[in-house]
Amino acid sequence: MSGFIDVENAVAADPLVDLAKTDYYAVQGDPFKRTALVEGYGRLPADWAARLELYRLYHALELWDWFASIGEVAPLAGIAADIRRMV
């Protein structure tokens, strides 16, 4: 086995959407973790990096919205900072 990806919240879309979620939630900017994730994933399209960044932004916005919708305000500032860095 070379890796394991939990697909509990996988969606029927561009496979990079799921990869970006793992990258945003677990890798969190660590270049060693990102390299391992990308190498373990396998062959990627030429434009994978740009698509991954767009989907990371989507996941950050989704997470911010989810926390806001349940009234959990503590993580909002950190997620908003992530969003600002991405745009």
Residue spans per domain, the chain: 15-86
Q: Compute the distance between CA of residue 57 and CA of residue 71 in angstroms, rounded to an integer.
A: 21
pLDDT in tens, 30-39: 999 999 999 9
At position 53, the amino acid (one-letter code) is E
**Backbone dihedral angles phi then psi of residue 5, each to the nearest 5 degrees:** -125, 125
Task: Say what the pTM is.
Answer: 0.82
pLDDT in tens, 41-84: 889 999 999 999 999 999 999 999 999 999 999 999 999 999 99
Q: Compute the distance between CA of residue 50 and CA of residue 71 in angstroms, rounded to an integer.
A: 32
At position 78, the amino acid (one-letter code) is G
